[in-house]
Amino acid sequence: EVQLVESGGGLVQPGRSLRLSCAASGFTFDDYAMHWVRQAPGKGLEWVSSISWNSGTIYYADSVKGRFTISRDNAKNTLYLQMSSLRAEDTAFYYCAKASADGTGFYYFFAYWGPGTLVTVSS
Partner 1 sequence: DIQMTQSPSSLSASVGDRVTITCRASQSISSYLNWYQQKPGKAPKLLIYGASSLQSGVPSRFSGSGSGTDFTLTISSLQSEDFATYYCQQSYRTPRLTFGPGTKVDIK
The least CB distance from residue 14 to partner 1, in Å, is 26
11 counts as binding partner 1 under rule CB under 8 A: no
CA distance 111 to 31: 15
Q: Return phi, psi of residue 105, to 5°.
A: 85, 0
* Residues 27-46, interacting with partner 1 (CB under 8 A): 33, 35, 44-46
Q: Is 5 in the site for partner 1 (CB under 8 A)?
A: no
Chain-centroid distance, C-alpha 50:
7
Of 7-15, 18-26, 56-64, 79-87: span binding partner 1 (CB under 8 A): 56-64
CA nearest to 67, candidates 84, 87, 49, 50? 84
Binding flags for partner 1, 74-103, as an x/- string (CB under 8 A): ---------------------x---x--x-
Candidate segments 8-16, 17-25, 74-82, 110-118, binder of partner 1 by CB under 8 A: 110-118
**Is residue 114 involved in binding partner 1 (CB under 8 A)?**
yes
Segment contacting partner 1 by CB under 8 A, of 24-32, 71-79, 81-89, 104-112: 104-112
Cβ of 118: how many Cβ atoms within 10 Å? 14
Contact 111, 100 (CB under 8 A): yes
- In whole angstroms, what separates CA 89 from the centre of its chain? 16
Phi and psi of 88, rounded to 5°? Answer: -55, -35
Q: How far is the CB of 99 from partner 1 (least distance, A)?
A: 7
